[in-house]
Structure 1
Amino acid sequence: MEIRETQIEDILANFSALTQKILALDDEPRLVGRQLIIPSGRLDMLYVHKTEYLLLELKVTSFQKKFVQQVLDYKKRPAQSPNHWEASQR
């Protein structure tokens, strides 16, 4: 049976308590958006937890070095705050 990223996304999006447990958070995060288009690509999931934004990039394959670069590229986002991401999903 092949597992797809979208299946994992669906589970995490619908069960924030599971996301909380996986990320070892003290309470449930709030999902801001899925498949957000940003200058460096498409971010799988964006959550907010207290005053922090949590960016989730999901993979259902073996680790590849390019995955690290993909996540680091998210830091190159222009000066717009993640609030812009939130507003763009409404």
Structure 2
Amino acid sequence: MTRRDVSERSPQIDTLETFLKNLRNLSIESVKLKLREYIRVLRYARKPSKDEFYMVSKIAAAGILFIGLIGFVVYLLFSELPTYF
């Protein structure tokens, strides 16, 4: 079996090597530090009030409807415009 050139390596091999290199650099201390960061964020998190939840829900629904409207307009343009040309 011949040795392949570095430029002929598949992306999967590079990804696997990168994963293994990162796995070797992983230590218990780095995991503990990351968990401390997550716990710190969760301490500051709170349950939203009912009014805040409704406001966020309305904004999210309006955004979804707006994106849907844009998609529908684009659909109409692409389905009706070709009949005029």
TM-score, reference length from structure 1? 0.21
Which of the pair has the greater relative contact order for Cα pairs under 8 Å at 6+ separation?
Answer: 1
| Bigger fraction of residues in helix | 2
Structure number with bigger Rg = 2
| Bigger fraction of residues in strand | 1
